[in-house]
Amino acid sequence: MAKGRPAHPRARKPVAQLGAPIADPSNPDSRVGRNASPVEQGRGTMDAQYVGIDVSKDRLDVHVRPSGEAFAVARDGEGLSALVTRLQPLSPHVVAVEATGGFEMTVAAALGAAALPLVVVNPAQVRHYAQALGRRAKTDRIDAEVIARFAEAARPEPRPLPDEVTRTLADLVTRRRQIITMMVAERQRATRLPKRLKRSCERVVRVLEAELSALDQDIDTTVRGSPAWRAKEDLLASVPSVGDITARTLIADLPELGTLDRRKIAALVGVAPFTRQSGRWQGKSFIGGGRPNVRAALFVATMSAVRHNPTIRAFRQRLLAKGKPKMVVMVACMRKLLTILNAILRDQKPWQHA
């Protein structure tokens, strides 16, 4: 096919047009008529930087994707300052830090203060990802690279860090839980010990009860001293079967309550059922993951709700009438109660009695 166009209707040869793009529709390499690529070549999302940080007691190993840059700094004031100085010019899309039993909090605080997009990732998920890649070796340097690759592949959403007061409340609630665990253990030991040693267990329990009372007072002062937390607690406690302990556990350990939709908040707590299906095989759905401390507090509240909350009680009876197993019904009631609490904080409206 001739290129260009004729100068007049009777012309036999086409005349090329100055400045006109030459294109042949039969040529697959022709660019005329094609839409521009949605991703600019060499720019846009292709330049997104993902940083993985492996945290140990004395050192931070850092890996940057996709450039492959790797370095290490000390886990002290000077090292954190140097880390922030090196990361800020990169403008990373995500800085992923693996949770390591509390060592990551100092790093997270420094990165959060520098307004870097931080996410604390689950170590189990990162390890499973490494196994999927066939990376059996495990060193700090390799771990940092795997964390960066995980962040690049999964692209977790950065979340704001809790402030110091919120962390303090979370620590108080955690300590209260630990003391209750110790009290239960001592009481169990007392049932199997002779009378003389049983008195020892009783003395320990009395000391723990006094400590528990003091912690409850500290938690009450912390929550009631904050207008925002006091309003949250009052909203949550307006729901029948939700007491002060459940409300404060949710405030401390589930700050996302009221900001996510019902599906995301259920998955975050670990009460969302996940389907298991392959071909013609249809397995049972199971819950998993999530935050066990929140789930435990929610379970206790639900045990009361199925008796004293009219909405949850009617919901449970409908599911039982359909032949659902009792444990499946209990998890569904937990999810229902969580959805109600999420909506109450989202709408800032207390429980409305029917």
For residue 121, which of 152, 98, 100, 104 has the smallest C-alpha distance? 98
Instruction: State how beta strands 14-15 and 50-55 pair.
Output: unpaired
Q: What would the two tokens of residue 30 be?
A: 């022709």
**For residue 7, what pLDDT is reported?**
53
pLDDT over 90, % of the chain: 38
| Weakest-pLDDT range from 6-10, 148-152, 294-298, 341-345 | 6-10
| Weakest-pLDDT range from 5-9, 18-22, 230-234 | 18-22
Q: Any bridge partners for residue 95, and if so which?
A: 51, 118
**For residue 150, what pLDDT is reported?**
92
Task: Please report which confidence band the pLDDT of residue 8 belongs to, taking 50, 70 and 90 as the band edges.
Answer: low
Amino acid at 90: L
Read off φ and ψ for residue 175, nearest 5 degrees: -65, -40
Is the pLDDT reported for residue 161 higher than 70?
no
**For residue 290, what pLDDT is reported?**
86
DSSP track, 142-168: HHHHHHHHHHHHH-PPP-PPP-HHHHH
| Weakest-pLDDT range from 68-72, 117-121, 159-163, 227-231 | 159-163
Strand, helix or coil at 7?
coil
Task: Please report which confidence band the pLDDT of residue 311 belongs to, taking 50, 70 and 90 as the band edges.
Answer: very high
Is the pLDDT reported for residue 156 higher than 90?
no
Stretch 189-198: mean pLDDT, rounded?
A: 87
| Weakest-pLDDT range from 124-133, 166-175, 238-247, 329-338 | 166-175
Q: What is the CA radius of gyration of the chain?
A: 29
Q: What would the pLDDT profile of 270-280 be if each residue is shown by its tens digit? A: 999 888 888 88
The Cα–Cα gap between 219 and 248 comes to: 8
Stretch 9-24: mean pLDDT, rounded?
A: 50
H-type helices in 17-163, by residue range?
77-87, 104-113, 123-133, 140-154
Stretch 62-88: mean pLDDT, rounded?
A: 89
What global pTM score does this model have? 0.67
**For residue 48, what pLDDT is reported?**
81
Is the pLDDT reported for residue 39 higher than 60?
no
The Cα–Cα gap between 173 and 53 comes to: 29
Is the pLDDT reported for residue 316 higher than 50?
yes
The Cα–Cα gap between 169 and 223 comes to: 8
Write the CA distances from 353 to 230, 254, 304, integer angstroms.
Answer: 21, 25, 17
Stretch 206-216: mean pLDDT, rounded?
A: 92
Task: Please report which confidence band the pLDDT of residue 27 belongs to, taking 50, 70 and 90 as the band edges.
Answer: very low
Is the pLDDT reported for residue 132 higher than 60?
yes
Stretch 86-114: mean pLDDT, rounded?
A: 84
Stretch 224-251: mean pLDDT, rounded?
A: 89
**For residue 317, what pLDDT is reported?**
95
pLDDT over 70, % of the chain: 85
Is the pLDDT reported for residue 13 higher than 80?
no
The Cα–Cα gap between 242 and 244 comes to: 7
DSSP track, 176-190: HHHHHHHHHHHHHHH
Higher pLDDT, 160 or 13: 160
